[in-house]
């Protein structure tokens, strides 16, 4: 039986120089992460795709303009997490064949976003509303179209995956001080809780298929 693809946990990387990314991203890939978010304004955007693109999928975050869409696609990234959903941004993503997720927070906003030609909604900042929103959105059939982003820890990530979220963005709870010269061994330890959550829900997905 073919297992369904894992719904990814996506570490959202900070804006940093490529040299600062190298060891951190390498550790994350070794520990089982294969999707990463990178802010569209980062000078390292295209270089990260060039160096790690054969082993990982990249998402561009903080997309706000049609120029951002074009810049991401030129860098080799076609999965976009937007801060807003103006018509020209969505139109440009459609034109170039990019997958765009538009920003929303409440159920009403999510429903409005889903009327657009987008892949779904990115809920940011997720820590403001809390992971209890995941089950509430599941009750009204919206959780499967929402990627939460911002301040999500391992437990909260599990709650979002349990509710049906197609992916979950994670950041400081996983990365910690790794970009400030912190211990890579400690980063590996933090990875364990997140990878276990992802594996548990991948097993549940497989059992349900």
> pLDDT (tens digit, 9 = 90+) per residue, 13-61?
999 999 999 999 999 999 999 999 999 999 999 999 999 999 999 999 9
**Tens-place pLDDT, residues 76-113:** 999 999 998 888 999 999 999 999 999 999 999 999 99
Name the helix (H) or strand (E) containing 56.
Answer: none
Distances 174 to 13, 50, 124, 167 between C-alpha atoms, Å = 10, 24, 17, 16
Total Cβ atoms within 10 A of residue 111: 14
Homologous superfamily assigned to 9-208: Aldolase class I (3.20.20.70)
**Tokens standing for 192?**
């364990």
């Amino acid at each position: 039986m073919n297992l369904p693809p894992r719904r990814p946990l996506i570490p959202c990387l900070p804006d940093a120089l490529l040299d600062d990314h190298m060891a951190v991203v390498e550790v994350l890939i070794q520990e089982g992460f294969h999707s990463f978010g990178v802010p569209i304004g980062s000078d390292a955007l295209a270089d990260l795709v060039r160096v790690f693109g054969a082993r990982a999928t990249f998402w561009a975050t903080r997309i706000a303009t049609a120029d951002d869409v074009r810049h991401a696609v030129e860098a080799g990234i076609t999965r976009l997490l937007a801060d807003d959903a103006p018509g020209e941004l969505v139109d440009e993503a459609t034109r170039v064949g990019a997958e765009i997720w538009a920003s929303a927070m409440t159920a009403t906003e999510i429903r409005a976003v889903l009327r657009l030609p987008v892949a779904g909604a990115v809920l940011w900042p997720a820590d403001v509303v809390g992971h209890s929103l995941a089950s509430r959105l599941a009750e009204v059939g919206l959780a499967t179209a929402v990627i939460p982003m911002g301040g999500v820890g391992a437990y909260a990530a599990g709650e979002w995956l349990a509710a049906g979220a197609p992916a979950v963005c994670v950041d400081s709870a996983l990365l910690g001080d790794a970009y400030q010269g912190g211990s890579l061994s400690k980063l590996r330890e933090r990875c364990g809780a997140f990878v276990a959550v992802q594996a548990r829900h991948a097993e549940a997905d497989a059992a349900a298929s």
